Structures are given as structure tokens and as C-alpha cells.
Amino acid sequence: MTQHYDVCINGAGPIGATLACLLAQAGIKVLLLERQALVTAPLASLDGRAYALTEGSRPLLEKAGLWQNLKGKPEPIKMIHVADGEGRFPKAAPKVKLTFTPEDSPENLPFGWMVEANNLLASIGLTLQNHPSIRVCTSMTGQFDFHKDHVSVTLNSGETLTANLAIAADGRRSELRKQVGISLTSLPYHKSALVALLAHEQPHHGAALENFLPQGPFARLPLPPTAEHPHRSAIVWTDRPERIELFKNLSNSSFEDNVQSRLAGETLGKLQLIGRKWIYPLSSQYAHRYTAPRLILIGDAAHGLHPVAGQGMNLGFRDVRLLTTLLTEAFQNKKDLGDKDLLAHYQRITRPNNLAMLAGCDLMERLFSNDKFIIRQARILGLKFLGGRPHLRQSFVKQAMGL
């Protein structure tokens, strides 16, 4: 007999894996497909990024069991410096610098948590490898066929399985999204992000920096210590692809000097590049629909943001939170999880908010990566206005924290 599941999730990245664990806890029978083999120990060669996860995303990871399995301790973000770097070249100390302090956060909670991507991937592997309620098929692809009352999945091993609902959590280049013909709009920025890890002499005290330069934002993000490097940070350096390639090919000492000049006056002492440099092209994108018959898109399969505000993955976790609630409620009421009204309800709630976030990040990138006098003066006035109004700052922070 063909084995039947309530839900089939395509993609076991952070979004797909978290959703799978949460649905399984509700008694929902989950099939999880992943093209790559799972890893159970952090491998720096897999992914050079570090994720800024909001305080609102953390409880989902905790409930799913992923937070507890992180090999490296997440680093809390306790303070955020926002600088407006004037001029064509960065300056040591910008004229305008807005700082969000713990007093701006509800109950002095951290603004968020820094988690290295390779550490999170290892936690996913550890959590899923012996999960009693999820069938995990790794190094697997599946041919999906959508029928009126079910979805059939033929694995590349030849086995055929069925489910009530398929969920595309397979990233920006989602094969499932392409298969059902959901169109996509992409917003290219003609820029790339260089990501690297640095050790420094002085502690970062849990502070993050976002220095908005005309060429693109430069971010320094606090990371937890290691035995070898007690003070570490990640940088995300945005610029035109040809300039980023130049920076990548600099000698270590020249690279460290260039990073130092973009730290907006921060005193971290001598910098040391650790590990390789990674380059990621930047764009935003959004799917024109989040659903098709018996299919739902979540995370990057549905929307991809510019990393300027660190909201991309957190937006995916908001999808997870809502979808977990909707599917659990339907399951408990013995309703069809692929029902078209349920799918329409998911899209109706998520898509407008997600498009608003995408538009906000896009506008922020275009406004701050601009050296025109009038726009620069407007930015300065805006930062000063926000700096002098704690209640407005607190409201802004609460929204950004996903609370």
C-alpha cells in the first residue's frame, strides 16, 4: 500500500525543518524531503553567513527543539548602533549615530540573537536524525503530482507516497513554485554582499552596527566567543559586484584596514580575518501567489528580502508561526489540510504584511544608499527625530523584534 502523510514539506532548511517539528508535535504526520545530506556537526565550509534572529523567532526554534541542539551558544544582540556614513568614502566617526539601548526593548529583552548558519544546519541534522514523528528523506528529490484530493510524490528511489498538502520550503529558486507556474517578480540591486568573520582585541559587548554608506550598508554583527578567539564579529559588506570582488582579493592586512575604516568609530582594537570570504548576490523577490491547489509556499519560496534589516529569515518564521496554527487547528477539527479555503486564508493574512516588509526593506536600501544632498539631510533629520522620541523608538523596536 502507498504510505500516506498529512503534509509533505519540500526543503529541510531552517524554515522547513522548524515547521516539520512543530507540526509533528501536534500529531500531524509529516514527510520531509531534502536534496542534501544532513550534517550533525558545524562545518564552516557549508555556509559563511550568520543569521540575526529576532526575539520573536526564538520561541519557535525552542519549541521545535532546534535551539537546544545548537552546538555554539547564540549571541544576544543587546545594543544596535545605526550610523549614516556621509560622503563618497567612509569616515571614522559619522556625524549622526542613533543607538538603540536595552531600555528601548520590552522588559530589556535582547533585540535578537546571532546564530551562525553552519551551527544552525548542524542543529537541524541533530534534531531530525532520530525524530520519531517525521519521516526524513535526505539526498532525495521528488516528482510532485497534484490531484483533486491528494498530492502524490514519487521519490528518485522509485517509491511513491501521498499527502493531503505539499509545502514548498525549497528556497528562492523553488522547484515546486516553478512546477505549478506561480510567477515571480525580482528586484535586482546590482550589488553583492561580502560576508566574513573577524576576531578583534576588544569585546563587542553584544552591540551590532549598521553603517549606511552611499555604496551600500556595512554591518558588523556580534558573535559568541570560541576557545581560540574570545571576541568575534561577522561583517556583511555591501557594494557593487566589481568592488566587492576587489575587496575579496585584498591581502588580509589591507582587507582588515578597509573594514576598520567602516566601523563608524567603534573601538574594537586590532582586527584579524578568520576563515574565508563569501560573496552573495543581492536581490528582492516576491511570488505573485502563495498557494496553488494543495500547495503552499513559505519562507524564501514565497518572498526574499534585501538583508539590510536582517528580516528575511524572520519573515519566514512568521509564516511558520501562522501556518502551524492554521494546520494544527484544522487537524484537530478533522478538516482537510489541503482545503482551498484554508490555503486562501493563509495567503490573505500573510501576503500583505510580507509585501509591506519587502517594500520597507527595499525603500530603506534605496534611501540610505544614496548620497544626494536632500535625501541625506532627510535621513539625518529622521534619525535625529527618532533619537529624541523614546516611545516611538520602543514601538519601532517591538515591531522589528517580531513581538
Q: What is the pLDDT of residues 328-343, one digit of tens each?
A: 999 999 999 999 999 9
Q: Return the pLDDT at 88.
A: 47
CA distance 286 to 296: 14
CATH of residue 64: 3.50.50.60
Alpha carbon distance 175, 171 (integer Å): 9
Predicted local distance difference test score (pLDDT) of residue 214:
84
pLDDT of residue 90: 53
Task: Report the pLDDT value the prediction gives residue 215, as an integer from 0 to 100.
Answer: 87
Cell of 18: 522548524
Coil/strand/helix, residue 4: strand
In this predicted structure, what is the pLDDT of residue 395?
82
User: 213 — alpha (psi -120 to 50), left (phi > 0) or beta?
Assistant: beta
39 vs 346: CA distance, rounded Å: 32
Residue ranges of the chain with pLDDT lower than 50? 88
Split into its structural domains, the chain has a count of 1
pTM for this entry:
0.92
- For residue 354, give its domain range: 4-400
Q: Quick one: pLDDT at residue 15?
A: 97
Which ranges constitute the DSSP H helices of 287-389? Answer: 312-332, 340-368, 373-387
